[in-house]
Structure 1
Amino acid sequence: MGKSRMRRFKRPHFSPTGDCEVEGTAANGTEEEEEDNGLVTELLEKLQHPSADVREFACVGLARLAQQPQVFPVLLRGDALRQLGPLLLDPSVQVRETAAGVLRNLSACGGFDVCDDMVTKDIMTPLVALLKECSAGLDSNEMSPQDAKDQNRSSFENLANEAVNVLWNICECSSKAVSIFNKEGCLESILKFLSRFSTNVDLAISVAYCLQIVTEDNPELLKSFNDAGLHVLESAMLLPVNSMEYILLKTLVAGTVWNLKNVIPSKSQAEIINALLKVLSETLEIDAGETVVQMKVAETQRLKTASETEEILENVSSGTVIESEEMEEIPHKRKARQKTFISDLLPLTDKELRETTALLSAQQTALEIIVNMCYSEDPSDDEWEELSSSDEGDAFMETSFNDCGGQLLSPLCLSHEVHTALTHYLIPEKIIGKTAFPNNIAVDMCSKNPTWKPLIRKMNTIQCRALVCLQSLMSFLDVDHLGGAPALQKLAQHFSHLLFSQPDVTKHTDFFEAISSALRALLQTMASKNISQCMTPDQLMTLCKAGICNSNTRVRVNVVSILGITGSVLAKEDGTLETLKTIGCFLLEVATKDPSVVVAGEALDALFDVFADGKEAERASLQIKLLSALKEFQPVFKMKMQKEGRDKCSPEQLCVLNNVKTNLRRFITYQETVEKKY
């Protein structure tokens, strides 16, 4: 049977570029939509205006509207892409930058269809030309006088940042865009931008995100990396940290370096992999919840100080008398700041929020990189594989996968160097730490502030990613490297706390899927090593009854697999008859009534494992009339496979289902021998 389910994270399906106003847009009324449509039409007309200021104004307006999904059809019907493309090479630098901003928001918020349309409408041609022009501009800028040099550098880097974000978003969604990236030699330009990491971390982060996308599964591009390019990456990965944004940059570059592992000279691989995992370890070591609290407190204090300063300045400008004691508290301020506006006293951006967001993004990225390290290929393109579960079962259950090409699961690709570095830097322990619920104080602080509230979702995502990552690590690390039997039992208690300590936790599908996958992997590992389980059958039945009602097929597959693993352990123990009967009846009901043939196949697989051996299992199977139920269901299962399998299942799932069908026939024969014994 298939024995585990594995996930390899591909590139994310959205870019954290542009603040897409996705939530709540459905509530917009018809009048608002008509008003937006009229505004889009008006702004598109202004893109051709002879005045650069008018063109810039139009781009700024379109950039705002491009964050609203309901406006996409109007923009695309209005042929906005064909009009915006040439503006990337407009004589006005401001128009170029704002036009790139429109495309950045469109590509970030529009998804695959919009990005495909961008490639079809040939956005890549002016975009590539703009990137090369920015690169050349930075070169010529080195020879400029100092004042002009600083101004030109800033203009070229800002423009490059917008252009790289557009490139990143499009390549994220379009393989054709990645091919154009390779063909046009964009690598040289963006590596030059990355080399500015010490002076422009924003640009470097955008490039690092883009590089992580274009270097994944792209052997053609990997050939283009020379020693100079690898040196830029190495320098960025080893740079000293002076902000959370540098942590994000180092983590992203580490992901790119992992994608390049096949072109790194063998003599350097051990050193590079060690450095890479050191970066990931340092990223995961930071307490994100505590950082959120500290940064929010710092922001509150800064805003309070700014507000007090503004009040003082208003008193001064309005002629309010300030007592001498107050004057002593603010020496020299009156003369220096009489003409200063409060906006001049505040930073251009919310530094604390940016720093915190950067840390959370870095930790999510680090966890995803570690998952990708575990598997060299992903046959289902970033989908969970609903494969059968347990290693437990009698000899009659074992069968070859030759008819399926000899292999169901992605091969493990961990080298000795990676394995050693993972354990040396205590990465499993740090990942376990990230599986806890987000800090209550941090969540409470964020929930009270609209600009910080999105961080709650980011913290929850990190928890889910950590659970997925932990599941992957349990697939290949030895029990000793996970801390031995006591550590696994403690981890089971931790999972129990996560599942049962908070109400309605099973209604959060992403979390439920992640923890049920991790629990499944943990119980399977413990069963294979004869480590006693800490969760009671009653707890697991409660979990499974909640899970089987979930609309997510992956959750349902997990919970029936968990019961199969638990039941196969109990079948070898005395005094478990009633529990085995309960488990058997539950799995039979799932197999015969679940609408998904994949879940039905997993339930059958679990039944095979539970009732494959043991006196208690034999007695239980007789009392629940397992044989007659399976004989009756056998033709129904074959029919479900014929009707649903080809259309709704991946090749890997079909292979497993065919295996289940074969084993169902064998299991029925085995159960007939059991009945004869009694």
Structure 2
Amino acid sequence: MGKSQKKRAMRRHNPMRVPDSHLPKGLESIASSSKNEAILPIVQKMESPDGAERKWACVAVSNLIQNDPSTRRLLQGKNIVGSLITRLSDSEEEVWVEAAGALRNLCIDGGYDICAEMYNKNILAPLKTFVPKISAALSQFLESPKTAPENAQKVVYEFADNAITVLWCLSETSNKALNAINQINLVPFLMSFLASREKLPVSTVTAAAQCLYVLTDDNQPAIDDVRSNAAYTSCLLDVVRAEANVAEGKSKATLDERSSMCKVLTCGILGNVSPLPPPSATSAIDITKDVTLPLLQPVISSLSLVDVSNAVQELVGNQNSEPPQLEKLSLKNTPKTDHKTTTEVELERLESRLRTVQLALEILTGACAMLPDPVSEPAGEEEDVIDEAEYEDVEIGDSPEDAMALDSSTPNGNTDTRPTSLLPALVQPLLALIQPTALSFPPPSGASIHPPTTSALSAIHISALQCLNNIFLSLGASPNPELAADLESGRNVWQEVWSALGKVGIQIERGQERKQDMWEVAVGVLWGIGNIWKGSFPPTEEQVKVIIQFCEGSTDSTIRVKCIGTLECLAHHGPSIDANRTIASYLLSLLPTSSSQSPIGTEPLIQAVSALIDIYSDESAPYDVNFRQGKFEDRLADSVDGVKKAVRAIDRRKERDLRMRGEEVRDNLVAFVRYRRELQL
């Protein structure tokens, strides 16, 4: 099992602010919605010859779609995306400024589908024309700030924020959109905002940092653009250092959330483009060790999720203002995009703090992965072809005793070349962030009282678990006797993870997919912890039952491998003979027989065989009585031919690593059965 990766192969980040699954009633109400007729005036005014009406329509869309998927879908059905894109070329400045704001909100609240629709309807054509215009206005304001009125500057900065955010969301939608955006050459444009950060609104600078962070995430053209200019990397380091110096002298509570977000984003950009190229002075810096870990640890430690949850509940309970209602909108009652109540501002501030922590966790997860690049085959070089017949007629007694190399089946065999001394310090704040609050997972019977908070909280829990997953796999890859001897710490971590899962529960219904995500990541964390302190935790009957149940309920081979690995670690607890028997019986049920195939996939099968070998490699263990009394040796022998067949079926060219692993486990199984028979216990 590998580590949680920040990089994405197909779809990248999900730009959706609040997934539709958090708003089930909104989706279910589309068919019967009475809003269908009410939105027609908005659509009609979008094409009005009166500029004031066109502006009104754009602002109305911008306000009405937030956290309301039913209205959003209805407007989509009326081609609102196409209409707003057309308005980007409007003859009146106020109209295309508001159209950009509406498109921005659609991107953030609508996610992939709307972003894909925008790309297919050629939104990049007008957006491209705005980049040089914004650059020219920005240069003018910076050189001669008194030549433009403050209101004009405000409009340009807000428009830049909207345009950049749309480009950010589009670049996360698909590789096709990302490749098209690469052609615009945005890096110099975005870096200009960071370079002039002290003279610009922090929200606009943060939008530029967000876009650059996404563009440099596993996207070589943008990475090369940043790395090729020493001034860019120097600027990025200045941003991080300047923010860090300010932070040291102030209370965390007084830090502006957007400034903190900008610092975190810049830290992520540096991680994306590292190592920094020589011969610059910055090339000697180890970004992970010297920047990422020390800077982001205070960020993830700065927030109590329980306090935020309680504050949101209180704010929502006291909220007197109502969201914009379609029937109340008129040209005399034009909605204001920038008018928010004190409660709304505070709710947004709290959400911003949550999103900053979420982003910091995402960056830390990537930093803690520390995986080397895969080694590719030299072009044109033929693989050695192994004669499959070599294993066709191997008898149990034919393998030499010294051929048996018992496989310990650690989750990750990579050698970590970076120091892991900083990683344990992250564990305690991460454990606090995995604990669900009252708003994290609302019951299926009712929607969240504040969907943005629920969305952010559940994302934080999962991101913190992903980070823990990578930390324990990194620690496990570099054996540390001192750490393994610290059983108290191990038990605390183990109990904290189970405590979080207990609050999540195993009843997962429609609209609660994030609970499923929690379990899938958490099982990997349990496996990582279990390997460091193997056999140190007495398994409870409920724990064994739940993991087996989760393994049985999943169709994902990777999840099943995690579950089997965790069960193996539990089975090593010497005094827990009954639990060992339950686990072994389950693992044996996954093996093929002389007359039937394995009921699970090939990779979980290989893991199950490896686990059984590892569990019973020490015949002096107290639980070995289960092996002898249950005649496990005969059951393993009966599985040999089926295991060989399963390994032969692995395509060596498509799944080389799995094939090599399978061949190793197959050989170990043959040798292990022979070894146990020779013991004659």
TM-score by length of 1: 0.74
Q: Find the counterpart in structure 1 of residue 676 from structure 2.
A: 674
One-letter code aligned to 2:404: F
Superposition deviation, residue 243 in structure 1: 1.6
CA separation in 2, counterparts of 1:46 and 1:22?
A: 29
The amino acid of 2:96's aligned partner reads: R
Instruction: Give the deviation of 1:126 after TM superposition.
Output: 1.2
Deviation at 1:264, TM superposition (A): 4.8
Q: Report the AA paired with residue 522 of structure 2.
A: I
- Tell me which residue corresponds to 2:380: none
Distance 2:125 2:184 in 1: 9
| Alpha-carbon displacement from aligned partner over 1:187-217 (angstroms, at most 9, x marks no partner) | 2222233445445222222222211110112
Moved more, 176-185 or 105-114: 105-114
Which residue, out of 601, 622, 632, partners 1:626? 632
* Structure 2 residue corresponding to 1:10, chosen from 4, 7, 13: 7
Q: Give the RMSD, CA atoms, in angstroms.
A: 4.4
Alignment match, 1:601: 606
Identity among equivalent pairs (%): 20
C-alpha displacement of 1:564 = 2.0
Equivalent runs, 1:148-297 vs 2, <5 Å: 148-195=148-195, 197-198=197-198, 199-225=200-226, 226-237=229-240, 238-239=242-243, 240-241=246-247, 242-265=255-278, 267-269=281-283, 271=285, 273=287, 274-289=290-305, 291-292=307-308
Local SS of the residue matching 2:5? coil
Q: Which runs of 5+ in 1 are unaligned?
A: 307-342, 380-392, 402-407
> What's the offset of the Cα at 1:665?
5.9
1:409-558 counterparts in 2 under 5 A?
Answer: 415=418, 419=420, 426-435=425-434, 437-438=435-436, 452=450, 454-477=452-475, 484-485=483-484, 487-499=486-498, 502=502, 505-507=505-507, 508-527=515-534, 533-536=536-539, 538=541, 540-551=543-554, 553=556, 554-558=558-562
SS in 2 for 1:536: coil
- Give the unaligned 5+ runs of structure 2: 248-254, 322-336, 375-400, 508-514, 593-597
C-alpha distance in 2 between matches for 1:504 and 1:372: 25
Provide the secondary structure at the position in 2 that maps to 1:185: coil
Q: Deviation string for 1:571-610 (max 9, x for gaps)?
A: xx6x776654433212112446745444333322322322
Taking a change above 3 Å as real, the CA distance of residues 497 and 216 of structure 1, as seen in their structure-2 partners, is closer
Structure 2 vs 1, CA of residues 154 and 346 (structure 1 numbering), >3 Å: closer, same or farther? closer
Distance 1:579 1:145 in 2: 73
In 1, are the aligned partners of 2:202 and 2:259 still within 8 Å (CA)?
A: yes
Query: Structure 1 202/496 Cα, relative in aligned 2: closer, same or farther at 3 Å?
Result: same
| Contact kept in structure 1, 2:58 and 2:99, CA below 8 Å | yes
Question: Which residue in 2 is equivalent to 1:351?
Answer: 345
Whole-Å separation in 1 of the counterparts to 2:653 and 2:80: 38
Cα pair 2:301 2:429 within 8 Å, conserved: yes
**C-alpha distance in 1, partners of 2:639/2:356?**
50
Is the 8 Å Cα contact of residues 527 and 566 (structure 2) preserved in structure 1? yes
Deviation, 1:168, is 0.6
- Give, in angstroms, the shift of residue 303 of structure 1: 7.4
Cα displacement (A) at 1:286: 0.8
Matched, 1:560 2:576: no
Give the conservation status (yes or no) of the 8 Å contact 1:119–1:176.
no
Instruction: Summarize deviations over 1:497-543 as a string: whole Å, max 9, x none.
Output: 5426846634442222232211111111223xxxx603336465244
How many angstroms does 1:559 deviate by?
Answer: 2.3
> Contact between 1:135 and 1:193, CA under 8 Å: does it hold in 2?
no
More helix by share: 1
Match of 2:363 in 1: 369
Compared CA separation, residues 22 and 300, structure 1 to 2 (3 A): closer
Match of 1:91, SS state, is coil
Q: What residue number does 2:121 align with?
A: 121
**Given residue 185 of structure 1, which amino acid in structure 2 is its aligned partner?**
N
Q: CA deviation at 1:254?
A: 0.7
> Kindly tell me: are residues 450 and 493 of structure 1, through their superposed partners in 2, closer, same or farther at Cα, counting changes over 3 Å?
closer
Alignment: residue pair count:
597
Structure 1 residue 232, shift from structure 2 partner:
3.7
- 1:410 to 1:204, Cα distance in 2 relative to 1, 3 A: farther
For 1:252, give the aligned amino acid.
Answer: L
Instruction: Note the C-alpha offset of 1:92.
Output: 2.1
Equivalent residue letter for 1:563? L
Q: Distance in 2 between matches of 1:348 and 1:578?
A: 59
